[in-house]
Chain A
């Protein structure tokens, strides 16, 4: 059988062992060197990784704000806003003023009467009523705002 022949061949080859050219000390020496080298690489790699992470974080945090964004800072506008219903107060009974409902979406109205000019600017969010009495020089501005701090436009 070929298998038996193989076994006998292997046995015959094993009769004359060759002299060894290395010993356990060589392996231990090389192993210690490999361990030391691996530790050095591990320390270097950890330091490099930490430095890279620090640089990336610093770069991200130092990004300038977006110049195209002109909206003021504030909480976001909810989709359904409660309609503020605050009546306008007119301190001077002689002067007439008109204030529209804040819910009105009509464009700014200017009412001119004899001696008094009232300009009401209405927006869905805020209403500013400015009443100017003739001769009195009183400039009273009443502002009725809803729940949102929306910039108001005032015109004279």
Chain B
């Protein structure tokens, strides 16, 4: 099987899940599309040089996360100005009100902490795997997780904790 055919097969299998991961990282669908296209392009170019293609999921996830962080680092040099006021409301419209609050609060978490939270609580990766994907140490992952959750709590405010306890009790 040629690399092009193998890549096409792999793309059809993984594109949606990777696009959703990118959406969780970026917070909007348009940026997530660009991010996933860049990541798949990098994978396509690097594919013939890959010694073994067993762990391609982890490799692609690593590309997505690192491309996202690199874009965030580069954002101050870009001509495009990102703004908080979106012209249209993305898929968050399907969320309930309390989850919408969580989603908006997640947007205020710094990029690396947000990437750590997404990898740990969406992909259910362990600390070591997250560290490998982000290219940092295990201790950094732990501290980023802790700081990310703390920032999220601060953003949500003490009222959210009370609300969450009421919802839990009602459920």
Contact = CB atoms under 8 A, between A and B. Distances in A.
Nearest to A13: B91
B151 to A, nearest CB: 11
Interface in B128-171: 149, 152-153, 156, 164
A20 B16 contact: yes
A31 B4 CA distance: 10
Contacts of B8: 24-25, 28
Nearest to A21: B33
B80 interface: no
Contact of B7 (A12, A14, A18, A27): A27
Interface in B100-129: 102-103, 106, 117-118, 121-122
Contacts of A39: none
Interface string B1-21: 000100110011001100110
Most buried by B among A8, A12, A20, A35: A12
Interface of B: 4, 7-8, 11-12, 15-16, 19-20, 23-24, 29, 33, 37, 40-41, 44-45, 91-92, 94-96, 98-99, 102-103, 106, 117-118, 121-122, 149, 152-153, 156, 164
